[in-house]
Amino acid sequence: MTRPTPTRKPRARSQARIDSILDAARFLLTCEGVAGLSIYNVAERAGIPPSSVYHFFASVPALLEALTADVHATFRAALQAPIEADGLATWRDLSRLIERRMLAVYEEDAAARQLILAQHGLSEVTQADRQHDLELGLLMQQLFERYFEVPRLPADVDVFALAMELGDRVYARSVQLHGHITPRMAEEGMRVFEAYLGLYLPTYLARRPQTG
């Protein structure tokens, strides 16, 4: 799991302690969900005093915000992974590729499903997720613009971020009903993502020439 890069790099010993705390929180989140998470059981799992957890994370929401950033770092890495341009005949091919990569993260990371798709009612985590969605939406738009001649999009709507959030609503419904994203609901989420983008992108977009 890729760790988010802090604005000021902690010392090696502090970073190791932070990593152990986040790893413990991730394990407990996967096993027990958000409701079963506390500073004390994270400390017990990490094998450190609760005061050491409080030194880095003042509350459970602060800890979950850090885990949310951790998850989104993995999403960013998925978007930035190499793409075989010859396989992109239309923008919908790129749309499908992106969504499959997002689904792979959800499939492999139960903590991602708990934080982003489950109903936990923590406004701090939801707000952090939305802020990260804006960043991912911008990365998606830049990715589309790298391969296709994307038309001018409205300045008052974050089209790609909203498309992603709408797809996530479908995946969340599947998690609530089945505990995971079923193949059927994965397909529906991708269709929702494409359908919303299709309100702003014409069926055919000219390909940009690729160099290198």
What long-range pairs does 10-18 form, CB within 8 A, spacing at least 24?
14/56, 17/48, 17/52, 17/56, 18/56, 18/66
Alpha carbon 113 to chain centroid, angstroms: 9
Share of the chain above pLDDT 70, in %: 92
Q: Which domain holds residue 81?
A: 62-197
> pTM of the prediction?
0.84
β-partners of residue 148 are 207
Judge whether residue 9 has pLDDT over 70.
no
Q: Are residues 54 and 78 in the same domain?
A: no
- Does some domain include residue 105? yes
CB-facing half-sphere around the CA of 161: CA atoms within 13 A: 16
Beta-carbon contacts of residue 96 (< 8 Å; ≥ 6 apart):
190, 194
Q: Are residues 41 and 92 in the same domain?
A: no
Ramachandran quadrant class, 121 (left: phi over 0; alpha: psi -120 to 50; beta: rest): left
CATH assignment of the domain containing 21: 1.10.10.60
Q: What is the pLDDT of residues 132-191, one digit of tens each?
A: 889 999 999 999 999 999 999 999 999 999 999 999 999 999 999 998 999 999 999 999
CB-CB contact of 90 with 204 (8 Å): yes
Q: Are residues 102 and 134 in the same domain?
A: yes
- Does some domain include residue 5? no
- Does some domain include residue 83? yes
Beta-carbon contacts of residue 162 (< 8 Å; ≥ 6 apart):
137, 196
Q: What is the pLDDT of residues 55-87, one digit of tens each?
A: 999 998 889 888 888 888 999 999 999 999 998
- Region of poorest pLDDT, from 31-40, 94-103, 192-201: 31-40
